[in-house]
Structure 1
Amino acid sequence: MAIPMMIGMIIQTLYFLVDLYFVGNLGGNALAGLSLAGNAMFLIFALTQILNVGTTALISHAAGRKDAKDANAVFNQSMMLASLMALVVIFLGYLGSDTYLTSISTDLATIEAGQRYLHWFLPGMALQFPLVAVSAALRGAGIVKPTMLIQTLSIIVNIILSPILIIGWGTDFPMGIAGAGLASTISVVVAVVMLCVYFVKAEKFVTFKVSLWRVDSAIIKRLLGIGLPAGGEFFLMFAYMGLIYWLIQHFGPEAQAGFGLGSRIMQSLFLPAMAIAFAAPAVAGQNFGAKQFDRVRETFFWSALMTCSLMAMLSVVCFFIPELLVQGFTDDQNVILVAATFLQIICINFIPTGIVFTCSGLFQSLGNTLPSLYSTTLRIILFVLPALLLSQMDGFNLTQLWYLSASTVVVQAVISFMLLRREFRYRLPKSEPIDERLVILK
């Protein structure tokens, strides 16, 4: 399951880099505006994660039990919620985007660039909800290749459209940073259409049934019980990133652009490792539903080993050649310095982040995402209080924030692992020895 997802995420990494390249050539303010507006995606991720995690977990459990009726009920309630949340995002996004941007930046050119990007990308953000609901249903049923192929095609569309719309290749009508937002929206529309066509024609385990879109409070409660804590994690990350942008605004738009560039590259590097962690919930969830508890433990061991191995290799790259990772995206030496320093320091937490990813996936498979929220909350608290204190002291600088952030992830990894061991003790009883004669007789 991880290999197709990894291919899709590598293609997505390429899209991130292409987007950064063309926007970076527009100047530091455009790059900073993209970074500030892009942080709003964490808020969208928080909301989509509610559906993503809840739908995947419940449908994987139903698949393990061979319970198609429950899987269909869960999927259609998820689609109903996705449609409502998409409408809310469109309304609140256009209403509140200006307030959000002005709250974390004082540079007018940066704010204007962020506004142009968001206003064109908001429809794409809203369409993330039905896209995630369908993808989660397929992943819960153990199907990832079609999703990967469709995601790859949509990202290729985005890559092709980016230079055309941003700098006007072949059209002589450059839209600037607004073109980046429009290119992303068009690619999401393409992905939604293709995925829905595939789902209607090919998927049999779960199907669209409008008659099941009536509110079912019991199923919604199950979805939210698993999904809300996971969504809460991404909301905390949205607040965490927003706090950093707020803390460093006094260092100028170059600092915000450098942090945004470094963060985007870091997120891009994480994607292949995240593919393994994202595959784990469906595999472990189906085995949990089928009461194959030893396989749940094995899923954790192998996903942790593979994820952390990839993270170790990425740590070496970021520590020794961070400048090479950022030089192609901007000519501003101040932005390059901030981004390279960020990557060189923050790579300390790459292996612990791999542990956090894996533990989070296993919490999802067990149907209890609260421990993951607890560890993230502790990490944010450990970061926020010292960061606010440091910002009031003489000699406050950016590297202090990066070291503080890296150290809090190490603590989060330890807490997540301890909480997962506790969940395993409570939810995964030791398997009884199997009498092969009884199996043969049966």
Structure 2
Amino acid sequence: MNKNLVLMKEGNISKALINLSLPTIIGLLIISIYNFTDSLFVSGLGTEALGATSIVYPLITLILGIGLLFGNGGSAYISQLLGANKKGKSEKVLASTIFYSVFISLLLEIIILIFLNPILRFIGATDTLLPLAKEYSSILVLSFIFQALSISFMNLVRAEGAVNLSMYSQIGGAILNIILDPIFIYTFKLGIRGAAIATVISQIVSLVILIPYYISGKSYLKISIKNIRVSKEIIKPILVIGLPLFAINLLQCMSISLLNIFTAPYGDEAVAGVGIVTRICSIPMFVVTGFSRGYQNFVAFNFGAKNLFRVRKSTKKSLIWSVGFCILISIVQVVFSKQLVSLFTQDTLVIKIGIRALFANSIVFFTYGYQSIVIVLLLSIQKEREGFFLSLGRQGIFFIPLAFILPKLFGLTGVIYVQAAADILTTLATLYIFFKIKKQKLKY
């Protein structure tokens, strides 16, 4: 832990960014592998089963957002406090963050289970997809509290430098999920329910791997029930950083639901094709998100320590790395679009729609790397209003109006190109705000 804090404070910036972000990237990749693996095995059950998992995907995104809300918000705030040598307050934030995560995720779990049918209808389930979507989600929702806690802990341990632990927990859960999926789906003949059961068990194991870090006394910060505080002093700083990140996931949940709703009239094949592309694109998005979380901890720590030179240098480096990675991914996804979509299905219509959707989502994907780093920078240098606005852009402020307009004008093609159009508008807004702040010569 001390080595990582020293690395953030005065070590090589490139090495620090890699050390902080790589385990998080791997951890988040593993989360996407849960859904990717489920989809691959479920695809063997037919197009309707694959479409059902696409319908449920927004709910998975929502609970991921809860974990990121408290995990990232608490982690960034703890990093700032550690940078300012305030260990006592850091422990209060740690205990309170875990409590908030448990309470909110459990409340959300109960609400979804009570209103599961209307919720599934609302997010795009057709008559043919509803029974399978309900069968899958009714079990999967039971793991939400474990998933939210796992993601929160994954980020919280990273705040004090224990970045490898978060990676190990996610890898352990993912490997187990890959092993259990075919066993429960095909060997035990549980079908789509088997995929959900395998995920629940894997999420519990991921959490179990993380908890001993604090119980065994290995952690720098200690957890105590006595440190739990429900106060504005602790909640506000967590929400300032965590809420925009949660908003991104909440809006992503809404945007995927809108895509399902507007795609449904074109058939279950269209829902399945667009759903496949959502899963494919989520993998590089998680890479960028994981890197930006490592960058976030680095920037938050050095901003708290008033080391502005390291903030500026790390920002320039992070922008180059993120945009470069996204350009490479864009090329790969366009060139190998047919092969990627065909991993999930042999249905020719699904493949045809999937190829079109993957091309549309790839041509401007390079902008996502730029957006992510600038948003995290603004949130970390106390430009929360600007950061919050931009965080709402890609999946909300620009996406939602376009989701209603483009399908009416261009049919299924309009649905497919909504995200690309939203990315272009969000990037223009990000460029304007970022250069406006630089022009003001603010000393970030």
TM-score scaled by length of structure 2: 0.89
Report the Cα distance in structure 2 between the residues aligned to 1:403 and 1:266, rounded to whole angstroms: 14
Report the Cα distance in structure 1 between the residues aligned to 2:385 and 2:76, rounded to whole angstroms: 14
**Residue 364 of structure 1: CA displacement?**
3.7
Structure 1 partner of 2:233: 218
**Residue 264 of structure 1: CA displacement?**
0.3
**2:221 aligned to which of 206, 215, 220:** 206
What's the secondary structure of 2:115's corresponding residue? helix
1:398 and 2:412 aligned? yes
**Residue 427 of structure 1: CA displacement?**
9.7
Deviations 1:304-323 (A, max 9, x none): 11111111111111112200
In the TM superposition, what are the counterparts of 1:35-434 in structure 2 within 5 Å? 35-105=54-124, 107-168=126-187, 173-379=188-394, 380-393=396-409, 396-422=410-436, 429=443
Does the 8 A contact of 1:229 with 1:370 survive in 2? no
Query: What is the percent sequence identity of the aligned residues?
Result: 25
Change (3 A) 1:50 1:367: farther
**Residue 297 of structure 1: CA displacement?**
1.4
What's the secondary structure of 1:108's corresponding residue? coil
**Residue 191 of structure 1: CA displacement?**
1.0
Report the Cα distance in structure 2 between the residues aligned to 1:131 and 1:370, rounded to whole angstroms: 29
**Residue 214 of structure 1: CA displacement?**
4.2
**Residue 238 of structure 1: CA displacement?**
1.6
Unmatched runs of 5 consecutive residues or more in structure 1 = 431-442
Change (3 A) 1:140 1:35: same
Does the 8 A contact of 1:13 with 1:269 survive in 2? no
What's the secondary structure of 1:291's corresponding residue? coil
**Residue 342 of structure 1: CA displacement?**
0.8
Change (3 A) 1:426 1:194: farther
Hey, which bits of structure 1, 4+ residues long, moved more than 6 A?
424-427
Report the Cα distance in structure 1 between the residues aligned to 2:420 and 2:314, rounded to whole angstroms: 27
**Residue 351 of structure 1: CA displacement?**
0.8
Structure 2 partner of 1:436: none
Report the Cα distance in structure 2 between the residues aligned to 1:387 and 1:10, rounded to whole angstroms: 28
Which amino acid in the other structure matches residue 120 of structure 1?
I
Change (3 A) 1:158 1:386: closer
Change (3 A) 1:84 1:10: closer
Report the Cα distance in structure 2 between the residues aligned to 1:412 and 1:422, rounded to whole angstroms: 15
Structure 2 partner of 1:438: none
**Residue 51 of structure 1: CA displacement?**
0.7
Does the 8 A contact of 1:75 with 1:133 survive in 2? no
Report the Cα distance in structure 2 between the residues aligned to 1:130 and 1:392, rounded to whole angstroms: 41
Which amino acid in the other structure matches residue 183 of structure 2?
I
Report the Cα distance in structure 2 between the residues aligned to 1:11 and 1:100, rounded to whole angstroms: 27
Does the 8 A contact of 1:23 with 1:177 survive in 2? yes
Change (3 A) 1:215 1:292: same
Report the Cα distance in structure 2 between the residues aligned to 1:273 and 1:429, rounded to whole angstroms: 26
Higher deviation after alignment, 191-200 or 220-229: 220-229
Higher deviation after alignment, 108-117 or 268-277: 268-277
Deviations 1:309-340 (A, max 9, x none): 11111111111220001112112111111111
**Residue 370 of structure 1: CA displacement?**
3.5
Does the 8 A contact of 1:229 with 1:373 survive in 2? yes
Report the Cα distance in structure 1 between the residues aligned to 2:438 and 2:150, rounded to whole angstroms: 32
Report the Cα distance in structure 2 between the residues aligned to 1:351 and 1:333, rounded to whole angstroms: 29
Report the Cα distance in structure 2 between the residues aligned to 1:179 and 1:425, rounded to whole angstroms: 56
Report the Cα distance in structure 2 between the residues aligned to 1:126 and 1:368, rounded to whole angstroms: 32
TM-score scaled by length of structure 1: 0.90
Does the 8 A contact of 1:326 with 1:340 survive in 2? yes
Which amino acid in the other structure matches residue 147 of structure 2?
Q
Higher deviation after alignment, 10-19 or 92-101: 10-19
Does the 8 A contact of 2:40 with 2:343 survive in 1? yes
Report the Cα distance in structure 2 between the residues aligned to 1:162 and 1:232, rounded to whole angstroms: 31
Report the Cα distance in structure 2 between the residues aligned to 1:66 and 1:426, rounded to whole angstroms: 31
Report the Cα distance in structure 2 between the residues aligned to 1:389 and 1:281, rounded to whole angstroms: 35
Higher deviation after alignment, 19-28 or 193-202: 193-202
Structure 1 partner of 2:9: none
Change (3 A) 1:221 1:272: closer
Which amino acid in the other structure matches residue 261 of structure 2?
W
Structure 2 partner of 1:21: 40
Report the Cα distance in structure 2 between the residues aligned to 1:342 and 1:323, rounded to whole angstroms: 11
What's the secondary structure of 1:330's corresponding residue? coil
**Residue 34 of structure 1: CA displacement?**
0.3
Q: State the structure with more CA Rg.
A: 1
Report the Cα distance in structure 2 between the residues aligned to 1:222 and 1:331, rounded to whole angstroms: 49
Which amino acid in the other structure matches residue 231 of structure 2?
D
Change (3 A) 1:184 1:415: same
Change (3 A) 1:70 1:113: same
**Residue 161 of structure 1: CA displacement?**
0.7
Report the Cα distance in structure 2 between the residues aligned to 1:47 and 1:8, rounded to whole angstroms: 16
